[in-house]
Amino acid sequence: MSVKLPGLPLLFARFWQQRWARWLVWTVAAGYFAFALLVLVLRYGVLPQIENYRSDLETALAANLHLPVKIARIEADWQGLRPRLTLSGLEILDKQNRPALSFDQVQAVLGWTSLLVLEPKLHRLEIQAPQLAIRRDSAGHLFVAGLEIDTSSNEPGAADWVLRQHQLVIRDAAITWTDELRKAPPLALTQLNFNLVNSGSRHRFGFTALPPKGMADRFDVRGDIKGSDLADAADWRGQVYVELDYADLAIWRTWVDYPVELPRGSGGVRLWLDVDKARPVAATADLSLQGVSVRLARIDPPPGAPPGQSVGRWFCRR
């Protein structure tokens, strides 16, 4: 016995008889034509006149970054179906209206979710060849290009805004790190490339950089971190991976604290670090070392040890 299935016209007629089906079809059609109209308005009405909206864009960025913003010139084109803005001479000012961060060229690909949240929501933000100075003063306060990064404040800032964008790309950057708290000389990193992808509370990042000659080869850092609020350290956890083929470990003592005293040595490092509540909680390392000297400091005897027993200093060479 064969069963005859209803034809396509009959199925469509039955579907169209449902009120919710007609409502769904008309809603999808209206949304499609509204989106097409919006694209046409942007392509032929707004983007060719984008320079006229420069002050509006400066105001919108300043409201999200909580800092004054100036833009020298704006150009617009398209990346697929997304509008792309090229900002030349972008400046971020400090609270006294003094230039703090400046970029020759920044490309911003707008996301359509900007219409839903009513703020600039970027699908991709790309910065070419910036030069940044990062400093920690003697009191432990952190500054980027003269702007203080207040991690204890509950007020949203530029970093919170960056974590709300889909992707941030930095190419061929030069960064100078000055640590006045450690009284260390400035450390310059060149050819730095950085990529950050945000998906809600999940943040995946990676960067490579070239330290000064003789200190180390190019190093690679990658991470997968979950957290939504920079002011809430208990909310942040994930994994970080560090790979370094060669480094003069003794020289890096100037900027990095080791768990042991390391008078000399060099080698490669692969490190897997687990982070919980914004603090490292576990680490696994794969080391390849040469000419290493290690000295462990005196430590207290374990509980229950006989009176007078102590653990002395331990020294080894390889």
**pLDDT tens digits, residue range 5-48?**
455 566 666 666 666 766 776 677 776 566 566 666 666 666 67
122-141 tens-digit pLDDT? 899 999 888 888 888 888 88
Is 208:193 a contact under the CB 8 Å cutoff? yes
The sign of the torsion formed by the CA atoms of 26, 29, 35, 36 equals negative
Q: Is the pLDDT of residue 309 over 70?
A: no
The neighbour count for residue 318, using CB atoms within 10 Å, is 9
The pLDDT value recorded for residue 30 is 72
> Taking the CA atoms of the chain, what radius of gyration do you get in angstroms?
28
The type of residue at 216 is A
Contacts of 152 (CB under 8 A, 6+ apart): 231
225-275 tens-digit pLDDT? 998 877 776 788 999 999 988 888 888 888 887 666 666 778 888 889 898
pLDDT top residue among 124 and 292: 124
List beta partners, residue 173. Answer: 192
pTM (predicted TM-score): 0.72
For the chain, the average pLDDT equals 78
The pLDDT value recorded for residue 239 is 94
- In the block, which residue shows the tokens 């400066």? 58
Contacts of 24 (CB under 8 A, 6+ apart): none
Across 21-30, 45-54, 183-192, the highest mean pLDDT is recorded for 183-192
Instruction: Give SS3 for 140.
Output: coil
